[in-house]
Amino acid sequence: MALLETLTGPGELRGLSQGQLETLAAEIRALLIEKVGASGGHLGPNLGVVELTLALHRVFDSPKDTLLWDTGHQTYVHKLLTGRQAGFDRLRAHGGLSGYASRAESPHDVIENSHASTALSYACGLAKARALAGVRDRAVVAVVGDGALTGGLAWEALNNLGGRPDLRAVLVLNDNGRSYEPTVGGIAAHLGRLRGADSAGGVGDVGGGAGNVFEQLGLAYRGPVDGHDTSAVEEALCAARTADRPVVVHVVTEKGRGWPEAEANQLDRCHVVRAASLASAASPTSPSWTSVFGEEIVRIGEQRTDVVALTAAMREPVGLLDFGRRFPDRTFDVGIAEQHAAVSAAGLALGGLHPVLALYATFANRAFDQLLMDVALHRCPVTLVMDRAGVTGDDGPSHNGMWDLSLCQAVPGLRVAAPRDATRLRELLCEAVAYDDGPTALRFPKGRTGADIPALDTHAGIDVLRNDPGRDVLVVTAGPMARLGLEVADQLYAQGLGATVVDPRWVAPVNPELVNVAAHYARTVTIEDNGRTGGMGAALSQALGDAGVRTPLRSFGLPQTFLEHGSRAQVLARYGLSTGDIARQILADAGAAGGDRRTDRPTTARN
């Protein structure tokens, strides 16, 4: 029997010999490569923290001692050591283990953060709470990556911890020289200098002196320590545990360690791998949304020298890798610092350029205040491109991009486009960067674009996708939900109810002509993959009311709740965003109202 299979909890690690620990580390890496390779997930980060996680659980007594992980995608080894081995057969699948820390799974998971740079603030607050309660026998330990130190929130926490020498907290700096890609900026250079220091000495003695930023902030410092030497890491952690002040333990690790494919990948060290079933599938018939954006922004960049691009440590995932290679002087990776990225983009715009800021939709939430007060207030021509908008699925509640449209609706002067297919993405991106009277945003989902959906006609900027005889139902769809809207119209037609399906292209603010069109229909429905509160449907309902239009409107969207992980199709269906559920509700509404039904042949672009 493998050693890993005999473990029932982390307490049993303390009885293992050094040889057994090495065997266990090898077993963990083999299991991760097998299971994560099959399911997909964050493989590189977890291969790099095997020995560090073993050491943490040998020195600290979780869950009595609190282990906080920043970010939660590096907790796979932690999950294996806390009794969740069996769950790895369904990692990131509906009903299986989350790809991040999950309070519902285990008392060993205390926070569910998957947005970087937060764990130190959690640790600061928890340490203060323990101090106020007089609790001295429970450690607070936060594991933070060097990439997360490019985020300002981490330094706000370090500033406060440095001002409280009475607090007991251990801050483990997992320094692997990268976040998704290699870490950028002055902090990366500073950590590089510390890594070159002599590694002998005690707490506060190594890498110390006037050049150590942590000590200058008032924190004790120990390191750098070889993060793949369990004994060395344990020694450093034991010393930090007994300290009576906040301590930074600087641990140097190698992302992707133990897997040749990751070690050879110098870009992201296999940060995320795709599921084996997807990787071995035949070539897709349509491109990804991200790749279409990436190709079009390069084409635009070739034509316009004023277009520059920004990213927050994710050039490749958001489609800016080729732009960066083609125009390195016009590409800015600011690290995990979305707030800085937004204000920096405003500064670039004030300097006469047109910045394109590409972020995951869920991470764009972090820059809302800056989008509002620094970009929009100054009417800066900045284009925000939000990848992974709507339901992303397997990454779980923190990564679903279902909040961005609600937030964007509150920003005066911000125009938001939602392309339904690859052609519309190219068109709308060109329209966005051509607009110079304020900010614009473009949102699109994770995955493949699918086949193009041509319009029958375009009226006042609104694409008409289907036009049945009669005016029974106006179906307004947001972006890629157009395909679902057309399927719903098919079912309505089969039941004798005619529908007109339109795509407004620019979903915010509400096109006034859409209000005029809705006034001539018996009912209007909206379909979107954003939260219903503050989404497209809510905005159209308000616009109808303001105009005195009494056409009833039903909004189909996501509930304002944190959605469990699963595939995009599973999550959408779970919350009623399926063809059958939507059609049944519309038919029920029409039946309750005694609406007439049409039986003429519909007209769509597919006929």
Question: Cα–Cα distance between 316 and 358 in angstroms, integer?
Answer: 11
Rounded to 10°, the helix 289-303/422-434 angle is 40
Return the pLDDT at 191: 92
Return the pLDDT at 202: 37
Return the pLDDT at 170: 97
Q: Note the pLDDT tens digit of each residue in 282-307.
A: 446 899 999 999 999 999 999 999 99
Return the pLDDT at 606: 40
- Catalytic residue ranges: 255, 338, 366
Instruction: Check whether 78 is labelled as a binding-site residue.
Output: no
Question: Cα–Cα distance between 423 and 291 in angstroms, integer?
Answer: 12
Question: Cα–Cα distance between 396 and 399 in angstroms, integer?
Answer: 6
Where does CATH 3.40.50.970 sit in the chain? 18-264, 289-443
Instruction: Check whether 114 is labelled as a binding-site residue.
Output: yes
The per-residue DSSP string of 59-103 comes to HS-TTTSEEEEESGGG-HHHHHHTT-GGGGGGTTSTTS--SS--T
Return the pLDDT at 389: 93
139's CB contacts (< 8 A; 6+ apart) are 60, 65, 66, 168, 170, 241
Instruction: Check whether 283 is labelled as a binding-site residue.
Output: no
Q: Note the pLDDT tens digit of each residue in 51-70.
A: 999 999 999 999 999 999 98
Q: Note the pLDDT tens digit of each residue in 17-54.
A: 999 999 999 999 998 988 888 888 788 888 999 999 99
Instruction: Check whether 117 is labelled as a binding-site residue.
Output: no
Rounded to 10°, the helix 18-39/50-59 angle is 130
- Mean pLDDT in residue range 144-152: 90
Q: How confident is the model at residue 206 (pLDDT cuts 50, 70, 90)?
A: very low
Where does CATH 3.40.50.920 sit in the chain? 457-593
Instruction: Check whether 147 is labelled as a binding-site residue.
Output: yes
Return the pLDDT at 376: 97
Residue 604 has pLDDT above 70, yes or no: no
Return the pLDDT at 210: 55
> Which of the two residues, 376 and 95, has the higher pLDDT score?
376
Return the pLDDT at 208: 47
Question: Cα–Cα distance between 311 and 387 in angstroms, integer?
Answer: 12
Instruction: Check whether 189 is labelled as a binding-site residue.
Output: no
**Which superfamily does CATH assign the domain made up of 18-264 to?**
Thiamin diphosphate (ThDP)-binding fold, Pyr/PP domains (3.40.50.970)
Please indicate, yes or no, whether the overall pTM of this predicted structure exceeds 0.75: yes
Instruction: Check whether 148 is labelled as a binding-site residue.
Output: yes
Residue 600 has pLDDT above 60, yes or no: no
**CATH node for 289-443:** 3.40.50.970
Half-sphere exposure of 601 (CA within 13 A, CB side): 4
- Mean pLDDT in residue range 455-464: 97
Residue 119 has pLDDT above 50, yes or no: yes
Instruction: Check whether 116 is labelled as a binding-site residue.
Output: yes
Range name among 38-42, 405-409, 494-498 with the lowest pLDDT average: 38-42
Q: How confident is the model at residue 599 (pLDDT cuts 50, 70, 90)?
A: very low
- Mean pLDDT in residue range 547-574: 90
Return the pLDDT at 267: 62
Lateral strand order in the sheet of 354-360: 331-333, 307-311, 354-360, 383-387, 440-443, 415-417, 506-508
CA distances from 230 to 204, 279, 513 (A): 21, 34, 66
Range name among 412-416, 524-528, 594-598 with the lowest pLDDT average: 594-598
Q: Kind of pairing, strands 506-508 and 415-417?
A: antiparallel
The answer as to CATH 3.40.50.300 being correct for domain 457-593 is no
CA distances from 492 to 87, 472, 586 (A): 42, 10, 8
Nearest to 523 by CA among 603, 600, 604, 586: 586
Instruction: Check whether 581 is labelled as a binding-site residue.
Output: no
